[in-house]
Amino acid sequence: MGKGLPENAYTPLKEGEKYIPVMPGDNVPEVTGRSVLWGAIMAALFTFAAGYLGLKVGQVFEAAIPIAILAVGISALYRRKSTLLENVIIQSIGAASGVIVAGAIFTTPAIFILQLQNQFPSSISLLFAIAVSAFLGGALGIFFLIPLRRYFVAEMHGKLPFPEATATTEILVAGEKGGSGALVLVWSMLIGGIYDFIAGTVKLWDEFIDFQWIPFMKTLNEKARMVLKLDAVASLLGLGYIVGLRYSAVIVAGSFLSTFVMIPLIWMVGRHVGVPIPPGEIPISSMNEVMLFKTYVQKIGIGAIATAGFIGILKSLPIMYKSFSLGFKEIFRKHTETDNRPRYDTDLKMSTIIIGIITVLIFMWIFFASLSNAKIATIGVIIAFLLAFLFTTVAATAIAIVGTNPVSGMTLVTLIITSLVLVYAGLSGGRGMVIALLIGSVVCTALSVAGGFITDLKIGYWTGATPRNQERYKFLGLAIASILIGIVIMILNQSYGFTSRELQAPQANLMAALISSMMSKQPVPWLLYGIGAIVAVLVEMSKVPTLAFALGMYLPLELNLPLLVGGFISYLVGKGKGEIAKKRRDKGTLIASGFIAGGALMGVVGAFLKFLNVSEKIDYSAWKGRALALKMGLPLEKASELADKWLNSQGEIISVIAFSLLLIFFYVYARRVKE
């Protein structure tokens, strides 16, 4: 039975007081075959899960918590139970999945959205480019962050909350003491995964519910193009629980504005105009609610997201200034006492860091030069280096304070600067867009990794892990996730596409719209962007989380509404005070994490089956359509149409019942804890 965290783990240290971690000794197993192997497996599994869910809803769930729970549970498989520090290494390697995914899916899917694959000789070269840009960015983020470790985790001890690091550390320490939530997580992963697989791949019922089988809802659609939609899957329900009621309510408020105000308004006014209104290509009177949303309202959402990103940067300027000054002091400070530091306070040598940065920049120059020329490669390296260095401390500070990395806004700034510089340098069109997106991928991944890695290092500080080991073996997780994320992106693109109902890829579509308007001669819908900007400013003045509201405006209602349902479940489960309420909330978090991981993993499995043309053989709705066609004496060509009709009527009713049962299970299972 291990010991818990020291009493001063979360409080500022008094003068002369030192923090002694949970395991300060030198003979504790840490980097072992099992910790490295399981860390690598976690990095692979959660790259697929996080990639699918991130491209679906534009939010990457934090992999650290479920990986920590699984690491504790896996230790029971061995005769010698894994030590706390072995579990820290598993979590640190595995958590590379989420940060690499968060960096890559914001930018590189835009290559597919803009149909720029022909800029690469083959699919292998495209996969190589995605992997290289992600890994180089991740490596840059680690090297830039290491000199700042002592400031963030030691000098600011007790002054920065580190919400995600706190939760993960509590799980790992509880496992060391004998507590384990792995069984709850495994059961939830199985239930969530099976549920989403049945809905999304087997199609025993309809994943999407639009209530058009209710006469009133159908009339509302016909008269005003107002449609209430819900993507009834376990993964989004779990994500809503993690996000919480307030934040999910803000997101859905943005969706309500788009769905129940903007779409009906555009329809009511525009249907009387007999000619197409740009950027539309057909008259508004001929559009359904989906066309109206994608043609007009979603572009208003783009303006809102872009403005929210700029607002976030402006609000971060004081933090940037403070972080810069502290960062420079830490980097150039001479640590004469380095050799006398204990194991749990030793980093990679500064000479290694400098050589590492130079090596990354050299490979980055070679990489960009292979895609363009020496001049463009030099510009790309300078932009990536300066902006990654500029925003690294901002990303780490944001994670340490609120647990949220404003990487989307900083990437937006990167792409704007990059596009302007490349156009001025004479590079535009398809090749220019590819270079700009890959530069953006490097910077975005660097910031994402820097923000996530400071969480790992804080966990190591509390528990007593060796920072040097975390820093070295993090590169293994980065390599695995970087190689696999390109495969995930390519499979999902070929299976669904990034403008489909199943996968919205919101940030990537935003980056694609921005790049194409700046580097080509396509007309830019500035009026719609401007309306979105005004909405974002008004929301900011109302002291509402602007980026969350703007993301809600951009994403379809069916993807956001289940978040609100999950948030409401979190409110109901967590009602009350005291230890029992905390236990219920924590158990709900485990269930939600299981739903997210299981649903996302099975979503990837479904996409892979579709990629292999196997999914149609297990598609119940397709079999139902063929049976109905034969029963009605219709040609089999009508089977697909009949299958859709069945899904949109009886299939939706079954979905409502199944989703209601899932909600009841979630609530009852989460509330059932011992006094």
Query: Does the pLDDT of residue 407 top 80, yes or no?
Result: no
Is the model more confident about 201 or about 319?
A: 201
C-alpha closest to that of 198 among 585, 643, 659, 568: 659
Domain boundaries, the chain: 33-182+301-334+347-534, 189-274+550-671
Query: Global pTM?
Result: 0.75
Query: Does the pLDDT of residue 263 top 50, yes or no?
Result: yes
Query: Does the pLDDT of residue 580 top 80, yes or no?
Result: yes
Across residues 343-347, what is the average pLDDT? 85
| pLDDT for res 481 | 94
pLDDT in tens, 161-186: 676 777 778 778 776 655 456 678 77
| pLDDT for res 675 | 63
Peptide bond into 278 cis (omega under 30): no
- Which residue reads 């292998």 in tokens? 124
Across residues 5-28, what is the average pLDDT? 82
Positive or negative, the Cα torsion across 161, 162, 163, 165? negative
| pLDDT for res 402 | 45
Across residues 19-36, what is the average pLDDT? 87
Query: Does the pLDDT of residue 634 top 70, yes or no?
Result: yes
Whole-number percent of the chain with pLDDT over 90: 30
pLDDT-based confidence at residue 477 (cuts at 50, 70, 90): very high
How many Cβ atoms are within 10 Å of 568's Cβ, its own excluded? 17
Spatial CB neighbours of 529, under 8 Å, sequence gap ≥ 6:
299, 300, 302, 303, 306
Least confident segment among 368-382, 637-651, 658-672: 637-651
Is the model more confident about 645 or about 76?
A: 645
**Structure tokens belonging to residue 560:** 């956001």
| pLDDT for res 58 | 64
Question: Looking at the chain, how many residues does it have?
Answer: 675
Across residues 448-465, what is the average pLDDT? 89
604 SS3 class: helix
| pLDDT for res 337 | 47
**CA dist., res. 350 & res. 101, Å (int):** 28
DSSP class of residue 638 equals G
pLDDT-based confidence at residue 1 (cuts at 50, 70, 90): very low
**Structure tokens belonging to residue 12:** 């500022």
| pLDDT for res 331 | 56
Residues 103 and 447: beta-carbon distance below 8 Å: yes
Q: Between the CA atoms of 300, 302, 305 and 311, what dihedral angle is there, to the nearest 10 degrees? A: -80
| pLDDT for res 163 | 64
pLDDT-based confidence at residue 4 (cuts at 50, 70, 90): low
pLDDT in tens, 108-164: 888 888 888 888 888 899 999 999 999 999 999 999 888 888 888 888 787 766 767
**CA dist., res. 231 & res. 560, Å (int):** 8
C-alpha closest to that of 478 among 160, 229, 225, 138: 138
Query: Does the pLDDT of residue 448 top 50, yes or no?
Result: yes
Q: Between the CA atoms of 235, 239, 240 and 242, what dihedral angle is there, to the nearest 10 degrees? A: 140
DSSP class of residue 107 equals T
Query: Does the pLDDT of residue 403 top 60, yes or no?
Result: no
DSSP class of residue 117 equals G
- Which residue reads 């909600």 in tokens? 663
How many Cβ atoms are within 10 Å of 126's Cβ, its own excluded? 22
DSSP class of residue 209 equals E
Query: Does the pLDDT of residue 334 top 60, yes or no?
Result: no
Mean pLDDT of the chain: 84
Element (H, E) at 316: helix 298-332
pLDDT-based confidence at residue 613 (cuts at 50, 70, 90): confident
The distance in angstroms from the start CA to the end CA of the chain is 22
Is the model more confident about 322 or about 192?
A: 192
| pLDDT for res 408 | 66
Q: At what angle do helices 429-463 and 374-402 cross, to 10 degrees?
A: 40
